Amino acid sequence: MRAILFVGLAVLSLSPDAMAWGKKKSTQPGTWSEAAEGKPSCYNPPDWEVLSLIDRKMKRSEVMDEMLGQWRGSRNDGVSFEPKLIDKMDTVLLGRPEKIEAVAAENYVHCKKGDIAAWGKWVASQPSKLTEGECNTNFDYTLFDHLDIQSGWQGRRPICQGNKIALKASSMDRYKISDDGPWITVAGDPAIPTSGNSDWPCNLEGCLAGVLMFRFTGQSGMTSLYVAGQQIRFSAPEHGHIDYRINDTQFFDNKWFENRGVIDHTSIEISPSR
């Protein structure tokens, strides 16, 4: 009787561990969880703080491969996002490897929730979020173009905050902006000032009919207009883009000066400036 009682107590004393055996263990850092019914498997990123700097950099690449692989559907667990979006994320993260750690942590949270639709929307939002405030289009080259006198704003080019440029236009090439008007250059027609005249696109002080105009449009939506003429120097106050045109209200009657078959065409040069 005592032996039976002793055995019974021993079984009772072991029962908490026995119950633990039946519980699902939490996913260890740097490993995948098993996919539950109707739920995807999830990759729990490693504990970055315990890794050396070299190991940390190497692990980022491994973690990104695991994460993007699942997004591409390689685990066959119901997760598959738009290929073009994944390629874009690949490009963004390759250029910003230090951001992989935070993205992997957020990705794990979304995966554990199991809402694949919401997870996909989060992934779609990441490229713009991860590159917010950045500018990868520094104007560090020289651009050559020709002015089009028969269209509006043209030559649109991106520019980063702080970029300084110089726009130069050839001063000898001539054109008309009306059939009975004079031959003029990008300096404009001094006989027709358009300052204060809202019928003209350039109505600032110093604006003349036919003068070359320069515009900057920032990411904030701010737009600034300048009289360029033959030359202008400009420093971008924020990320945005630039373009230019002549000051005219209609284009159908514009024409270039021609002499013995040689037709003028105003050249435009935009280059970095100090």
Which ranges of 96-250 would DSSP assign to H, the alpha helix?
Answer: 100-113, 116-130
Averaged pLDDT for residues 82-87: 93
Retrieve residue 164's tokens: 């300084």
Reply yes or no on whether the pLDDT at 14 is more than 60.
no
Question: So what's the pLDDT on residue 44?
Answer: 94
CATH of region 143-256+264-272: 2.60.120.430
Encode pLDDT of 49-67 as tens digits: 999 999 999 999 999 999 9
Rg (CA), the chain: 33
Averaged pLDDT for residues 18-27: 45
Question: So what's the pLDDT on residue 169?
Answer: 98
Reply yes or no on whether the pLDDT at 171 is more than 50.
yes
d(CA 86, CA 88): 5
Given its phi and psi angles, is residue 114 left (phi above 0), alpha (psi -120 to 50 degrees) or beta? left
Per DSSP, what are the bridge partners of residue 169?
268
Question: So what's the pLDDT on residue 180?
Answer: 95
What DSSP assignment string belongs to 127-171? Answer: HHHHTTT-------S-EEEE--TTSSSEEEEEE-TT-EEEEEE-S
What does the domain layout of the chain look like in residue ranges?
A: 26-130, 143-256+264-272
Higher pLDDT, 38 or 5: 38
Averaged pLDDT for residues 130-151: 91
Higher pLDDT, 4 or 135: 135
Q: What is the residue-averaged pLDDT of the chain?
A: 89
Encode pLDDT of 232-271 as tens digits: 999 999 999 999 999 999 999 999 999 999 999 999 999 9
Please give the span between the terminal C-alpha atoms of the chain, in angstroms, as a whole number.
Answer: 99
Question: So what's the pLDDT on residue 132?
Answer: 82
32: pLDDT confidence band, cut at 50, 70 and 90? very high
Retrieve residue 129's tokens: 């979020």
Question: So what's the pLDDT on residue 38?
Answer: 75
Residue 106 three-state SS: helix
Question: So what's the pLDDT on residue 26?
Answer: 54
Reply yes or no on whether the pLDDT at 20 is more than 90.
no
d(CA 219, CA 137): 13
Reply yes or no on whether the pLDDT at 105 is more than 50.
yes
